[in-house]
Amino acid sequence: MLTTSEDLGMISVMKVATSRLTSADFAALKKAQMAAEERGRFAHLVDLSGVRRAAVSGLAALLEFQSAAKSNGSIAFFGAQPAVKAAITKLGIAPLLSLFDTRKEALAHPAFRACQLAGVKSVLLVAGAGSRMAPISHDTPKPLVDLLGQPVIAHVMQHLESFGLRDFILNPGHLGPQFHTRFKTTAHRSIQFFNEGQFVNQRWQPAPLGSAGTLLALQAQCAAFEEDFFVFCGDALINIDLAEMMAQHRASGAEVTVAATSVPHEEVQKYGIIEADARGRITHFVEKPAPEQTQSRLASTGIYVVKPSALRHLTSSDASPQGLDIAQHLLPEILKSGAALQVYGAPFDWVDIGCPKDYFAAISKALRGLIAGVSPEAQEVRRHVWLAPGAELSARAVVVGPCYIGPGAKVSAGAKLDGPTVVGAGARVAPRALVQRSILMPNTAVAPGTWLSDMIVSADWAIDHRFADGGTTTAVPMEGVTHAEVAQAPVDLPRVGSL
């Protein structure tokens, strides 16, 4: 029996070619498995498309191999020819075999998807001040803004981890110590910090380098990248097929692959627009063009796969990495050199949280179940009403979902919530208060009789999210809204639920 192997992340794909599968082939499969595990592969896919026929003893060998290999990791088969599938069905062993029709179907299974990109590094860019997100970003870095119980960046990491990505590099800048407090390396996740700032007289002073500057400094100071790596923004939710993107990148031979999504033509002025040929080769970038300046609707999402060698296009001409940007400096230099840049344009969801208006829209979509992989970290105690651990909701409060009540928050009898609405961690809503289509920031108290509509509020400021699009935003304190710790505690009343 002829067996060839291909490594895909932590997966070994073993192709079997034989005119007739018999019990004697078990030894060859076992040998290929052992060789793969010596290379550090702990999941195995067996390609049966080259097997013409299978004896009963050969099918028994597949069962024995699966049973033996499962003790060390995941295993499955795919691509069986009709004659082989018929023999499996006749013997009645189909339920016992992990059998898929195609390689793509097998790789999409969670057990194998989570192994495809193991060992690949991911840079999550978090240094920016997030000025368009003001005033929310004054006290909280944009990637750490809460989204139904978890920071936005935690949702991003969960999607990455579903493909086996576990090695994360973060570059804290604006309010950098908050990242150190929030994230630690665990047995399942490696977090490395590349600080873009420092303490001066016990006060943190950010010193962001720019996205390309960060990559250059990481390579120059830490030799961080030996193989192709991902770059993400820490404040945009995605459901992109990262394994497919990496496979396309490697097949293309490009220096950098850029994930792009189609936007309405009348909105191209909001984005960096990519122009590409029929093969997906990038030919031109236009930063925030007027609609009449380009026919392309492909907007860069700030998601990249980068070859380490791509960074040489900047190191030769720039003594300092300070202020260098991927889109404005690195990619144009690569184009100028004649090297290849590729666009990844397969459809995917991209929820960019750039300003308070975007933030409320993201929460509204997530509460309605419209963002894949994002749901409240809470118990649903009424229809479309979620209560986080430690939250209290009076049985005599009126709540029209969707609403999320965060950890330690309290909603008193006689209060009314009208969704989509979020009551942040530790917040208080007093009797006769109305919170409608709004977000209460953590530790915010709404006094009796106060009405809020279409607002994002804290004790220190309030903004109408419908118009908070990143331009000049008027944020002033709102009457009836204070810090929760100085608010009068509500009377203890019957509760719908408490976690």
Question: Of 383 and 474, which is predicted with more confidence?
Answer: 383
Asked whether the beta carbons of 310 and 334 are under 8 A apart, the reply is: yes
Instruction: Name the percent of the chain lying above pLDDT 90.
Output: 77
Sheet holding 2-8: strands in order across? 2-8, 11-21, 43-54, 75-78, 99-100
CA distances from 278 to 342, 343, 382 (A): 11, 11, 51
Instruction: Read off the DSSP letter of residue 471.
Output: S
Report the 10 Å Cβ neighbour count for 427.
Answer: 29
Give me the chain's average pLDDT, please. Answer: 91
> What is the C-alpha to C-alpha distance for residues 306 and 227, in angstroms, rounded to an integer?
9
The closest alpha carbon to 465, from 359, 351, 362, 364, belongs to 359
pLDDT band of 499, cuts 50, 70, 90:
very low
Q: Which H helix or E strand runs over 436? A: strand 434-436
Kindly report, residue by residue over 246-291, the tens digit of the pLDDT: 999 999 999 999 999 999 999 899 889 999 999 999 999 888 899 8
> What is the C-alpha to C-alpha distance for residues 166 and 228, in angstroms, rounded to an integer?
15
Asked whether the beta carbons of 424 and 406 are under 8 A apart, the reply is: yes
Amino acid 320: pLDDT:
63
Q: DSSP for 156-202?
A: HHHHHHTTT--EEEE---TTTHHHHHH----SS-EEEE--SEEEETT
pLDDT band of 41, cuts 50, 70, 90:
confident
Q: DSSP for 261-314?
A: EE--GGGGGGSEEEEE-TTSBEEEEEES--GGG-S--EEEEEEEEE-GGGGHHH
Q: Does position 497 have pLDDT exceeding 50, yes or no?
A: no
| Number of alpha carbons in the 13 Å side-chain half-sphere of residue 341 | 25
Q: Does position 490 have pLDDT exceeding 60, yes or no?
A: no
Amino acid 72: pLDDT:
59
Amino acid 343: pLDDT:
97
Query: Cβ contacts of residue 467 below 8 Å, gap of 6+?
Result: 357, 473
Q: Does position 324 have pLDDT exceeding 80, yes or no?
A: yes
Rounded mean pLDDT of 337-345? 95
Instruction: Name the percent of the chain lying above pLDDT 70.
Output: 94
- Angle (CA) 131-134-139 rounded to 5° is 100
378-412 CB burial, b ≥16 within 10 A, e <16: beebeebbbbbeebbbbeebebbbbbbbbbbbbbb
Report the 10 Å Cβ neighbour count for 336.
Answer: 9
Kindly report, residue by residue over 362-387, the tens digit of the pLDDT: 999 999 999 988 999 999 999 999 99
pLDDT band of 39, cuts 50, 70, 90:
confident
Query: Cβ contacts of residue 201 below 8 Å, gap of 6+?
Result: none
> What is the C-alpha to C-alpha distance for residues 196 and 68, in angstroms, rounded to an integer?
49
Amino acid 486: pLDDT:
46
